[in-house]
Structure 1
Amino acid sequence: MALGSALPVSAKFLPRVRLTQADVAELSALADESVRETLLSYEEYLYGQNRQLDMKRWKIVKENEAVKVYRERESAPHANARDRKATVEIGPKASLAASTRMPLMLVHGTVQGTIEDALYGSYADDTSSMRRRSMYEKDLMEDSAVVASLESPTLEAPFQQSYLSWLLRDFPGLNAVIRRRDFLLVNKMGVTTTSRGERIGYQLEHSVEHRDLPELTQAGIVRGKYSHCLVLRQLDPSRIELFNQTVVDPGGSLMSYIAIQESAESLLSCGHMMASSQKKKLFYFMRKQARANALSSSRANGTRLSNASLSPGASVLARHQSMDRDVSDRCASCEKSISKLFSSGGVCCQICQQVRLRLVACVCVLLYRPWVSDKLRLPSPPSLCRLTCQIICSRCSLKKKIVIEATEKKVVLKPFVFCLACTIRATKFSAEQVQVEELRERQLSL
């Protein structure tokens, strides 16, 4: 079936991409060359310029906390497209820069965390994980998909991978004047070293062409191009440096100013890698605890585990029902006293019809809080940490929106409450260990 304007454009309607051995070799070589080209630029900044940006060359476009996006000034010596090609050793990014009217863009800054945290937050190996990452990093992509795999990670090198991806970029509020853009990219991620032996991580996205996925002109979509390779270097045990020179060719007749602003907004998403890593770790702990609770429940009941019982939310009721009904009056984190909602004479829960010394001790309030608050007009009970199942006060709780399902049809994002201790634990937990365990789970499920 041909793609046309009458069909909705999404990943599920894309034609299948078939890679030959020659395709894989060519795309892998292109990715390797693009990474090498970026490392040369980074080493010039790191060793040649002593990590000092030339502000006569770069102008700030956007910034978010300690991450800034710059554009090359028109008056800069290398701003002319013809000069760019002559001043940099010819490579994939330099070739694209020489063919576009757009200025070179630069991302620079620092974020809290480790190289492994950043790679884990940005890691994706299928359409589901790409959409989960897109939701966490807020990269402004309307749709995305992994269309072919080039290199799979191993337990020894859990972040070393490359694949072919497709992205669809929408422009909310500007659709009347700007057509959507799509991108076909070769992606590569991994860890390497500089010429002086310093360990760095990298994440590459570089535009390519393939016969099985031509431009979707009949659907009113413009094929854009860009070359983006984010370099990650550990500055100290808890902070990394970000460096990324990006070339963008939006295609069509999009005004340069709009293209620069929209590109800068997308580039800032790299600053959300750590938040993505933290939420993915929290979900990992949720799944791990759900399996443990389901296993414990099955042993107690003498039943076998089902696939449904292994989901993060399947054992919620069982966990709460097994809790001591006499819930502590103190916050599990700060031990602050939590006032009783009802007198010691007891109250009948209007959901389960059981008499409780106080309604906060009833599992129904914890499971059906929105219904209880709206229908019975009762004060909101203290929060319950999703991992420890302990009562926590509002000051010691954090609400995180976690993607619990990501498929071709939908992405389900739900808020969960966690205590500060669990949030800090997830943040500091080894991202590489989580990645290895998740890879091992996938291998066992095949």
Structure 2
Amino acid sequence: MLPPSSAIPKLNLTPEEQQVAADEVAAVLAETLEIEREFLAESGPLDKRQWKEVKSRDDFRVFKERRRVRGTGATTSGPQPLLPGIDIEDSRVTKTRSTISSAGDGVVSSIKEPHVPMIVAAGHLEGQIEDVIYGSVAGDEISWRLRTTYMKDKFADAKIVATIKEPTRENPYDYLAIKWFVREHPPMLSLFVQPRDFLVIEATGYTVDKYGQRHGYYIIHEFHHPALPELKELGVYRCKMSLCFISRQVNPSKVHIFARGFVDPKGDLAHGVTVALTAEAMLSTAHCCDSSYAKKLTWLMSKHRLQRQQQRQQQQLVESASCQSCQKTSGFLKASLTTCHLCGCIFCSRCTVQRKIIIDVSTGGVTERSFPFCHGCILRAKQQSPYDVAVDQVTQIASLSASFVSRPKTMSVASSTDSRYGITVSRPPLRPGPSPPMEIGSILS
């Protein structure tokens, strides 16, 4: 049986359609930045009468908007001021309050049904902002599957249907595309819940706000197109969603993340289940840095493959091996000595850590394996500039595309090694053709 993605065609968007998508992203980002500013203006906790904490992980918490009963007796969950008691003398905040307090005025609230609660998440991650952004970027099908695996937010089926803006050497984090996917649910839940698919605009970037402060963003926002109708005949519900994540470096080792949006699963899915699944998806942001570290570690492995092979050949000539860190010798402890999968040097088990790395991406899924790495190489991968890795991968994309175009049409490739990620793929990555020149605006320039 063919997967639902087989019924999803690729799109050739017109310049006007691309512009509309870019403008929609710009509007969502601008709105979220203003609400984030309001959130940060009040350092105290959220008003428990209005917001209920539904899930947390470490220092990252997710809240849902409570339903409120007004004078007419009607129950609503329309957007309210995010925090009470903000200094109304601040004209910038006062302006924001007046525009986000009225139901239906905001870009996000205007597409949300009244009974669907707004979700807000906030917290801190240990690390660097560029690791948060690089861990989120998924500019092609392979990197998308790597991200969902490392961030523990797996999809049952997925497809990139159009690419509007690709990462460049100058802006390796900037990306804008139309994506379709079916999120993977827990096995027990899948027995009772019909599949839900999402058709969204996805955007990532690293830019400066109107106050001159740098920030990263990750946006997924609903998209509609007549060529991509709902798959009702396949028993699949089309969800509505809009989520925007803003990240900022608040000190040399900590990043603050603010997120806002909603997910409307349609159908008869229980309200509590919807909120729980949305919260879990938002909490996957906590794995951004881990995703970046894993991708950088794999990149380093691909860059130093020859050096590692030479190191192992030299060590095979040495009869008595010892740990390069603590000098523990082999002897009867020989079985406890192992080789670092990056540098190729020998270490004891106490001087290594196991890390799961994706080694193969095929049509059937991804294959992960645990490898030993010395503490020095783990630190090296953590400190490796994500910007340099992203630029190198963008450069290799251009080379791969040129190579693929020049390959004879009669030549088929069942599997190959993608040098960008150092993994085996079952086929060349499917990449939409280049988009025509267009004016996308400051958010994507």
With normalisation by structure 1, the TM-score equals 0.79
Asked whether the equivalents of residues 79 and 103 of structure 1 are also in contact (C-alpha less than 8 Å), the reply is no
Residue 39 (structure 2) aligned to one of 45, 69, 88: 45
Residue 230 (structure 1) aligned to one of 228, 245, 249: 245
Asked whether the equivalents of residues 105 and 247 of structure 1 are also in contact (C-alpha less than 8 Å), the reply is yes
Letter in 1 for 2:398: Q
Residue 66 (1) aligns with residue 59 (2): yes
CA distance in 2, matches of 1:327, 1:100: 73
Asked whether the equivalents of residues 66 and 77 of structure 2 are also in contact (C-alpha less than 8 Å), the reply is no
Residue 199 (1) aligns with residue 214 (2): yes
CA distance in 2, matches of 1:56, 1:285: 50
> Aligned runs of 1:33-432 on 2, under 5 Å?
33-47=27-41, 49-50=42-43, 52-75=45-68, 80-82=76-78, 87=102, 90-97=105-112, 99-171=113-185, 172-290=187-305, 292-293=306-307, 316=309, 320-326=312-318, 329-335=321-327, 337-341=328-332, 380-432=335-387
Computing the radius of gyration from Cα coordinates, the structure with the larger value is 1
- Give the secondary structure class of the aligned counterpart of 2:179: strand
Once the two structures are TM-superposed, the CA of residue 65 in structure 1 deviates from its matched residue by 1.3
- Give the secondary structure class of the aligned counterpart of 1:155: coil
Describe the shift of the 1:214–1:405 C-alpha distance in structure 2 as closer, same or farther (beyond 3 A).
same
Letter in 1 for 2:47: D
**1:398-422 alpha-carbon deviations (Å, 9 max, x no partner):** 1111112224443221221111111
**1:347-374 alpha-carbon deviations (Å, 9 max, x no partner):** xxxxxxxxxxxxx5xxxxxxxxxxxxxx
Once the two structures are TM-superposed, the CA of residue 138 in structure 1 deviates from its matched residue by 0.6
Q: Which stretch has the larger CA shift, 175-184 or 70-79?
A: 70-79
Give the CA RMSD over aligned residues.
2.3
CA distance in 2, matches of 1:88, 1:45: 18
CA distance in 1, matches of 2:325, 2:67: 55
Asked whether the equivalents of residues 231 and 243 of structure 1 are also in contact (C-alpha less than 8 Å), the reply is yes
Asked whether the equivalents of residues 11 and 408 of structure 1 are also in contact (C-alpha less than 8 Å), the reply is no
Asked whether the equivalents of residues 353 and 372 of structure 2 are also in contact (C-alpha less than 8 Å), the reply is yes
Once the two structures are TM-superposed, the CA of residue 321 in structure 1 deviates from its matched residue by 2.8
Asked whether the equivalents of residues 61 and 70 of structure 1 are also in contact (C-alpha less than 8 Å), the reply is yes
CA distance in 1, matches of 2:44, 2:376: 36
**1:114-166 alpha-carbon deviations (Å, 9 max, x no partner):** 11101111111111111111000011422222221011122111111111111
- Provide the identity percentage: 31
Asked whether the equivalents of residues 133 and 206 of structure 2 are also in contact (C-alpha less than 8 Å), the reply is no
CA distance in 2, matches of 1:100, 1:75: 11
Describe the shift of the 1:76–1:193 C-alpha distance in structure 2 as closer, same or farther (beyond 3 A).
farther
Asked whether the equivalents of residues 127 and 408 of structure 1 are also in contact (C-alpha less than 8 Å), the reply is no
CA distance in 1, matches of 2:389, 2:177: 21
With normalisation by structure 2, the TM-score equals 0.79
Residue 27 (1) aligns with residue 42 (2): no
CA distance in 2, matches of 1:164, 1:236: 34
Describe the shift of the 1:255–1:216 C-alpha distance in structure 2 as closer, same or farther (beyond 3 A).
same
CA distance in 2, matches of 1:51, 1:145: 42
Describe the shift of the 1:286–1:53 C-alpha distance in structure 2 as closer, same or farther (beyond 3 A).
same
Q: Which stretch has the larger CA shift, 86-95 or 276-285?
A: 86-95
Asked whether the equivalents of residues 222 and 242 of structure 2 are also in contact (C-alpha less than 8 Å), the reply is yes
Structure 2, unaligned runs of 5 or more: 81-99, 402-445
- Give the secondary structure class of the aligned counterpart of 1:92: coil
Letter in 1 for 2:33: L
Asked whether the equivalents of residues 65 and 77 of structure 2 are also in contact (C-alpha less than 8 Å), the reply is no
CA distance in 2, matches of 1:161, 1:247: 22
Structure 1, unaligned runs of 5 or more: 1-6, 294-314, 343-359, 361-379
Once the two structures are TM-superposed, the CA of residue 319 in structure 1 deviates from its matched residue by 5.0
Letter in 2 for 1:430: S
Letter in 2 for 1:420: H
Aligned residue in 2 for 1:376: none
Describe the shift of the 1:89–1:196 C-alpha distance in structure 2 as closer, same or farther (beyond 3 A).
farther
CA distance in 2, matches of 1:284, 1:140: 22
